[in-house]
Amino acid sequence: MSKIIAIIPARYNSTRLPGKVLEKIGNKTILELVYKNVQQAKYIDEIIIATDDQKIIDTASSFGANAEMTFSSHKSGTDRCAQVSREFWEDDVILNIQADEPFIDPEIIDLLALKMKDDNWIEIATLCTNINNPAEISDPNTVKVVKDIYNKALYFSRSIIPYYRDKDSGNSFHKHIGIYAYRNKILQSITSLKESKLEKAEKLEQLRWMENGYKIHIFETEYQGFGIDTVEDLERARKNLL
């Protein structure tokens, strides 16, 4: 029987805020907050932190987490997940959970886990939510997504999609929530693909998978997401905890 394994890829030298996963919110590091929330999910069989730095290994050990060292050359969390997952069965489900979302909701983890359990033909799954803040619509750091009537992604973009020609047509937009679930055999396949043209243009790795014919299922949630990318994000997170 296949297992559901949550992997938290945690790179130390993030571009905008190096060492951010070891920053504290309250009395816990961001990494521990993420880990504790993943622990609360009901349908996860195993949790692994995949990192490239001994400081993260030591921190994970301090709160009882299983952590594995991965290559520093990996360009994405997906690559880090794939390395750790090579030892698992090809039909196991791998969840890629971002290490910089300290308030991640365990219910969205279970949502993806159950979708992958119930529909064993799904290759890759992820989440989206309504954009409630108008400023996010034109923000290139907010990735937008459109999907078909069967909940398969049509396209992801940093641009505004869809473009509403008639401005009073009841506009609605969805943003991508960056948590993925993959069949392990699919994960191993997509990480062997070369960088694609659309991926280079948008700097979105999921476009590489789609350009190569892989289907990504999108499920909606009310969770809005809260990632820590900057010092300002960190301060806002600390205020939210008060």
If you ran DSSP here, which 8-state letter would residue 77 be given? H
CB 43 within 8 A of CB 3: no
In a domain, 130, yes or no: yes
Cβ neighbour number for residue 236 with a 10 Å cutoff: 12
Q: In which domain, by residue range, is 110 found?
A: 4-236
Report the chain's mean pLDDT, rounded to a whole number: 94
In a domain, 183, yes or no: yes
Tokens of 135: 């400023």
Q: How confident is the model at residue 13 (pLDDT cuts 50, 70, 90)?
A: confident
Q: Give the CATH number, domain containing residue 53.
A: 3.90.550.10
In a domain, 242, yes or no: no
Each residue's pLDDT tens digit, 14-72 = 877 889 999 999 999 999 999 999 999 999 999 999 999 999 999 999 999 999 999 99
User: Can you tell me the distance from the alpha carbon of 75 to that of 48, in angstroms, rounded to the nearest whole number?
Assistant: 19
In a domain, 241, yes or no: no
> Can you give the pTM of this predicted structure?
0.94
pLDDT at site 225: 87
Mean pLDDT computed over 206-212 = 98
84 HSE (CA, 13 A, CB side):
29
Q: Mark out the alpha helices in the chain (DSSP H runs).
A: 30-39, 54-62, 77-85, 106-118, 134-137, 184-190, 197-202, 206-211, 231-241
pLDDT at site 1: 76
Q: How confident is the model at residue 229 (pLDDT cuts 50, 70, 90)?
A: confident
- N-term to C-term CA, the chain: 43
What's the domain count of the chain? 1
In a domain, 89, yes or no: yes
The distance of Cα 212 from the centroid of its chain, to the nearest Å, equals: 20
Tokens of 2: 């296949």
121 vs 168, higher pLDDT = 121
Does residue 1 sit in helix, strand or coil?
Answer: coil
User: Can you tell me the distance from the alpha carbon of 12 to that of 14, in angstroms, rounded to the nearest whole number?
Assistant: 6
**Residue 152, beta-bridge partner list:** 217
CB 193 within 8 A of CB 124: no
Does residue 22 sit in helix, strand or coil?
Answer: helix
In a domain, 218, yes or no: yes
Each residue's pLDDT tens digit, 124-158 = 999 999 999 999 999 999 999 999 999 999 999 99
